[in-house]
Amino acid sequence: MISVIIPAHNSEKTIEKLLSSLRKSTFSDYEIIVVDDHSSDNTGEISRKYSDTVVTLKERSGPARARNVGAEKAKGDILLFLDADVFGDVNQLGYVSRRFRENQEMKVLVGIYSKQPANDGFFPKYKALLAYFWFQEVKFLEAFDTHSAAIKREVFNELGGFDTIYKDALVEDFEFGYRVSEKYPIYLDTNIQVAHHFPSFLVNAKRYSQRSFCWVKLFLKRRKFDKAVGTPKEGISRLSGFGSFLGLLLIPFWPPVGITIFSLLFFIYFLLSFKFFSFCFREEGSTFTIRAIGTHYLNSIIIGTSALLALVSSIFQSK
């Protein structure tokens, strides 16, 4: 049996599409558990129309605790975690069950974002392509990406679930995945895809900043890059973009040095990002790609700034 666990906070605009798509599944051996993380909208009411179990938390606790609460209520031997702002193919549940049945050694299975986001606009499309692109060349992960991630219940319980120190959707999925991957391989299946409702650029910029800060803190503890997303190549690319921006700021005060730094680091940044930009061009054409290059560069500045702050914070905390 599959227990589908969905943490939700003020998700009335997105959760019904997810729940209704799950109820259209031809696979029958499953239950839906929604953990309403103290919503102030109609999330709970909508969830009760489709779910087998709805748990309402008395105070805002964050997705980490919400998922743990859902796992405590689960009856299935497979826990499938989905975010409240995604939806997938109606055959997804049957496919996940078959994958575990065919590979008895597999304990953890993660899907990816589809190239088509759940909402319209340039930025959602850019984010969807980037998320899709990240996972095209790997078979195993170290992060437990909860947009669509399944795990055997005994393994989840063995590892103690998500770390509830994280009160928001920050890096609780990375932290849990790192603990999982130390004992069990996290299989990636690109056939499991969900469309995600991506937030606006400004909301995303805030999340990027927070997540990057927390991820660098984790990295400094582990001293190890990831197989996808947080790879050495991605890290060097983002930091080169950020460094080139610092060079740009130097130009008015120290032109030769500023121009040299900007030119060298921007070249490295563009070279390491070129494969993604080419992917954007193949998918959406030249106008979209030009906008994607600018957006990617802005995100690199945000990530680099957060990484620098995390490094400085760690240095002061160690003293």
| pLDDT surpasses 80 at 228 | no
| Nearest-angstrom CA–CA distance, 12 and 241 | 37
pLDDT in tens, 73-102: 999 999 999 999 999 988 999 999 999 999
pLDDT in tens, 102-151: 999 999 999 999 999 999 999 999 999 999 999 987 888 888 999 999 99
3-state secondary structure of 253: coil
pLDDT of residue 21: 94
Q: What does pTM read for this prediction?
A: 0.93
User: Which residues lie below 8 Å from residue 137, measured CB to CB, with a gap of 6+?
Assistant: none
CATH number of 2-198: 3.90.550.10
pLDDT of residue 170: 82
Mean pLDDT of the chain: 94
Distances (CA, A) of 297 to 183, 187, 261, 300: 36, 31, 16, 5
Extents of the domains making up the chain: 2-198, 232-318
- Is residue 314 very low, low, confident or very high in pLDDT (cuts 50, 70, 90)? confident
Residues 148/82, Cβ–Cβ less than 8 Å: yes
pLDDT in tens, 181-212: 999 999 999 999 999 999 999 998 888 888 88
pLDDT in tens, 263-282: 999 999 999 999 999 999 99
pLDDT of residue 103: 95
| Nearest-angstrom CA–CA distance, 148 and 83 | 7
Cα-based angle 113, 114, 119 (whole degrees, multiple of 5): 95
